């Protein structure tokens, strides 16, 4: 499979006249069919991404990074990207296949950054105007309160148009909140979450820093895989998981795997990320695929993040497509809307009387 890369078709790089560069690895060059207008460069894994960019691309360059199997740290706060626009496909922390990369490139061509920006603006406006927020899973009758007003909360947007000097994941389409700086795991800080949450969606097991953990990563993913259909209920107290119970017989295996993880490393009890996928152009890919994290479906999808590598051996992401973020006026901000027709009404010529 050869994956076509044409900068003129990538909506995150709108506007003409800017030089385009594709960063990849030597073993992945044969997998990519790069347009003549683009220049292909090899990443130096011994150097930071910021250093690779600074030394080999002009200040006004557009840069796409596709490097499966190579874990890349984002440019730090003090790293100056100049006028570069940088899009990085997150395919280093999970075993991403060529088919999944191809799907990601298709999503980069079909994405609507302006629509994503409008959706993000509506989301944040609704958050700011709500006096109370609840995460609910109506089919399983779980509810978890969320206070979005804490000063220690760090909100991030990976969605919308990509401006000069900015970096974005690609495909983009994620909004997220953390109890501290996104790149520095601090387990004594927690998100203001209290109640019950339901896991019933595709899991993602992130690794990336240690090659010797690949088999363990694969085994953990297989243990958690039943969650795509079998629900587990989490009890949350002040942003920490204090209980984990299967809601169906098929959920016993992933519930046991999670309980063992929490006992082995209590830091994984901390919900480090509350995320919201808003990309409707990404379809769920089978397997342990990090690109699934921005999946937004029709109404947006909530996801949870536990741990952060390399502080924890693995970082876990759980998609929760049945969960709805609800405002105090019962309005659904993101996630599946309330079920219509909960009262069984019939129209009949008979009135039931004689």
Give me the CATH number covering residue 58: 3.40.250
Out of 49-63, 78-92, 119-133, least confident range: 78-92
Range of the domain at 106: 3-111
Same domain assignment for residues 305 and 182:
yes
Q: Which residue has the tokens 């009135």?
A: 351
Contact (CB, 8 A) for 274 and 180: no
Same domain assignment for residues 266 and 314:
yes
Establish if 168 belongs to a structural domain: no
Same domain assignment for residues 252 and 130:
yes
> Does pLDDT of 345 surpass 70?
no
CA distances from 26 to 1, 86, 130, 199 (A): 16, 20, 50, 39
pLDDT of residue 353: 45
Q: Name residue 23's beta-bridge partners.
A: 41, 65
Establish if 339 belongs to a structural domain: no
Same domain assignment for residues 138 and 257:
yes
Contact (CB, 8 A) for 177 and 148: yes
Determine which helix (DSSP H) or strand (DSSP E) holds 272, and give its type and residue range. strand 271-277
- Burial tier of 102 (Cβ tally within 10 Å: 0-12, 13-18, 19+): middle
Over residues 213-245, the pLDDT tens digits come to 889 999 999 999 999 999 999 999 999 999 999
Contact (CB, 8 A) for 303 and 318: yes
Same domain assignment for residues 102 and 232:
no
pLDDT-derived band at 123, boundaries 50, 70, 90? very high
Contact (CB, 8 A) for 47 and 66: no
Q: Which residues contact 284 (CB under 8 A, 6 or more apart)?
A: 202, 292, 295, 319
Which residue from 45, 9, 1, 14 is spatially nearest to 23, judged by alpha carbons?
Answer: 45
Which residue from 254, 151, 132 is spatially nearest to 198, judged by alpha carbons?
Answer: 254
Same domain assignment for residues 67 and 120:
no
Over residues 117-126, mean pLDDT: 96
Establish if 165 belongs to a structural domain: no
Same domain assignment for residues 187 and 324:
yes
Same domain assignment for residues 323 and 191:
yes
pLDDT of residue 154: 93
| Residues 251, 227: Cα–Cα separation, whole Å | 7
Over residues 185-195, the pLDDT tens digits come to 888 999 999 99
Same domain assignment for residues 207 and 307:
yes
Establish if 352 belongs to a structural domain: no
Same domain assignment for residues 258 and 125:
yes
Instruction: State residue 39 phi and psi, 5-degree precision.
Output: -115, 130
Which residue from 103, 123, 117 is spatially nearest to 168, judged by alpha carbons?
Answer: 117
Same domain assignment for residues 59 and 195:
no
pLDDT of residue 354: 43
> Does pLDDT of 342 surpass 60?
no
Helices (H), 211-342: 214-224, 252-264
Q: Count the domains in the chain.
A: 2
- Burial tier of 274 (Cβ tally within 10 Å: 0-12, 13-18, 19+): buried
Establish if 326 belongs to a structural domain: yes
Q: Name residue 144's beta-bridge partners.
A: 135, 195
% of the chain at pLDDT higher than 70: 93
pLDDT of residue 352: 46
Contact (CB, 8 A) for 233 and 142: yes
> Does pLDDT of 182 surpass 50?
yes
pLDDT-derived band at 48, boundaries 50, 70, 90? confident
Establish if 167 belongs to a structural domain: no
Which residue from 174, 132, 45, 182 is spatially nearest to 325, judged by alpha carbons?
Answer: 132
Q: Check residues 46 and 278 and name the one with the higher pLDDT.
A: 278
> Does pLDDT of 347 surpass 90?
no
| Residues 97, 113: Cα–Cα separation, whole Å | 25
Establish if 342 belongs to a structural domain: no
Q: Which residue has the tokens 């292909």?
A: 40
CA distances from 345 to 336, 340, 348 (A): 23, 12, 10
Over residues 59-109, the pLDDT tens digits come to 999 999 999 888 776 666 656 788 999 999 998 899 989 999 999 999 999
Write the DSSP symbol of residue 248. Answer: S
Establish if 349 belongs to a structural domain: no
pLDDT of residue 209: 72
pLDDT of residue 74: 67
How many other C-beta atoms lie within 10 A of the C-beta of residue 158? Answer: 22
Over residues 138-156, mean pLDDT: 92
Same domain assignment for residues 13 and 32:
yes
Across 211-354, the runs of DSSP E, i.e. the strands, are: 232-237, 240-246, 271-277, 301-306, 315-320, 324-327, 332-334
Maximum distance among all alpha carbons in the chain? 90
């Amino acid at each position: 499979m050869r994956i076509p890369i044409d900068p003129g078709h990538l909506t995150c790089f709108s506007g003409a006249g800017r030089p385009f560069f594709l960063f990849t690895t030597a073993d992945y060059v044969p997998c990519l069919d790069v347009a003549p207008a683009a220049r292909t460069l090899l990443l130096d894994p011994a150097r930071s991404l910021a250093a690779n960019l600074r030394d080999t691309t002009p200040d006004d360059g557009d840069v796409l990074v596709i490097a499966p199997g190579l874990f890349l740290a984002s440019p730090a706060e003090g790293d100056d990207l100049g006028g570069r626009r940088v899009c990085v496909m997150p395919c280093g922390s999970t075993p991403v296949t060529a088919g999944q990369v191809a799907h990601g490139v298709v999503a980069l061509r079909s994405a609507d950054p302006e629509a994503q920006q409008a959706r993000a603006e509506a989301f944040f406006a609704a958050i700011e105007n709500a006096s109370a927020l609840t995460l609910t899973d109506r089919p399983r009758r779980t509810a978890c309160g969320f206070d979005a007003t804490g000063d220690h909360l760090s909100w991030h947007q990976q969605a919308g148009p990509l401006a000069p000097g900015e970096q974005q994941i690609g495909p983009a389409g994620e909004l997220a909140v953390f109890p501290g700086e996104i790149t520095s795991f601090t387990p004594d800080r927690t998100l203001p979450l209290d109640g019950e949450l339901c896991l019933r969606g595709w899991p993602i097991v992130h690794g990336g820093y240690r090659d010797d953990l690949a088999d363990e990563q694969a085994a953990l993913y297989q243990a958690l895989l039943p969650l795509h259909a079998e629900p587990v209920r989490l009890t949350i107290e002040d942003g920490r998981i204090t209980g984990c119970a299967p809601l169906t017989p098929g959920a016993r295996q992933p519930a046991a795997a999670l309980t063992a993880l929490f006992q082995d490393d209590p830091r994984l009890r901390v919900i480090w990320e509350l995320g919201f996928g808003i990309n409707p152009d990404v379809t769920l890919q089978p397997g342990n695929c990090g690109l699934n994290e921005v999946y937004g479906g029709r109404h947006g999808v909530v996801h949870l993040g536990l741990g952060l590598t390399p502080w924890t051996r693995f970082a876990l992401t759980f998609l929760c497509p049945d969960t709805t973020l609800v405002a105090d006026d019962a309005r659904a901000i993101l996630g599946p809307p309330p079920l219509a027709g909960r009262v069984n009404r019939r129209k009949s010529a008979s009135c039931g009387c004689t």
